Structure 1
């Protein structure tokens, strides 16, 4: 029996490893449930990227649903996501608010100059404090906030055509059903 113990130990490790691989292939790592869903978006007052003497607050955005997109010039996935923001997301008809996260304003402005600016307004969260309140893990992330300031959807990772069809459009349809 003692001669078979290493073999049984090895087989147990292989089984655990196999289960771990199977588990990870069954669950989308982008599906981290946000505690903000169906709760008020955090209050914020942040400077505008294009004019730091002016601010945008949560209160300024109330009254109409909007998307809040977390991006940064240092974010590689933001480059991949950007064409979707420039076209299909704009076509959905909601304001798109840029949330520049832990970024140098000059680098962000240059990045937008190179890639285009899809945003209706851009706030700068240089130190990341407001991002912490939103539960931002990293850029890109996108939130759908309703007219009353309630977070209805959160996406961690880039927006893709599939995400627009399978997640964002259904979230917008659900939001439309809730509105009077």
Structure 2
């Protein structure tokens, strides 16, 4: 009986996790990604706390010529760590703004000190209210905005090189990049 519990429970869990991940990957590839009611709408107002000495992010920063990227992330988010090198590359394509979601200032700053800061401005969403206004499902999430501050694309989940090539870069181009 102990052998069944010792090996059976982890095997069942691994099988379930594999099915879940396969379903999410299939959903992503089929275009059934999580919907966003904000695509085509102006980016919501934001009430954010500046992140350390970094330039603070506000709604006015999202308006002006050219496309912009907004990335919700957190130091405690493992997929955020995995996508970070891609954000560094994207910061060369368009202004990139970071919102540390429900994270401690010290932890967010340590994350950026360790991995590098790709953000033109960064703030923290201490209460999670801004995340709610943006329709956040969780972190990471990345939004592409046009020069008017209109959301043209939302990607829920970590970025991969394939997602950047297939979705993010074309959206930046369509937004005036």
TM-score (norm. length: structure 2): 0.79
Q: Which runs of 5+ in 2 are unaligned?
A: 1-18
Counterpart of 1:33 in structure 2 is 35
Any conservation in 2 of the 1:45–1:55 contact (CA below 8 Å)?
no
- Following superposition of structure 1 onto structure 2, how do residues 10-89 of structure 1 map, counting pairs within 5 Å? 24=23, 26-28=26-28, 31-51=33-53, 55-64=56-65, 65-86=67-88, 88-89=89-90
Counterpart of 1:135 in structure 2 is 135
Q: Residues of 1 paired with 2:119 and 2:59: CA distance?
A: 16
RMSD after superposition: 2.4
Does the alignment pair 1:145 with 2:154? no
User: Matched residue pairs, number?
Assistant: 154
Q: Residues of 1 paired with 2:95 and 2:58: CA distance?
A: 15
Counterpart of 2:100 in structure 1 is 100
What is the Cα deviation at residue 69 of structure 1?
0.5
Q: Residues of 2 paired with 1:55 and 1:171: CA distance?
A: 25
Residue 36 of structure 1 aligns to a residue in which SS? coil
Any conservation in 2 of the 1:66–1:146 contact (CA below 8 Å)?
yes
Higher-Rg structure is 1
Which portions of structure 1, spanning 4 or more consecutive aligned residues, are displaced by more than 3 angstroms? Answer: 23-26
Counterpart of 1:14 in structure 2 is none
What is the Cα deviation at residue 111 of structure 1?
1.0
Counterpart of 2:164 in structure 1 is 164
Residue 81 of structure 1 aligns to a residue in which SS? helix
Pair 26,73 (structure 1): closer, same or farther in 2 beyond 3 Å:
closer
Any conservation in 1 of the 2:48–2:126 contact (CA below 8 Å)?
no
TM-score (norm. length: structure 1): 0.77
Q: Deviations over 1:50-90 (max 9, x none)?
A: 249x853202331132100011010000110011112x212
- Following superposition of structure 1 onto structure 2, how do residues 109-124 of structure 1 map, counting pairs within 5 Å? 109-124=109-124
Residue 39 of structure 2 aligns to a residue in which SS? coil
Any conservation in 2 of the 1:45–1:56 contact (CA below 8 Å)?
no
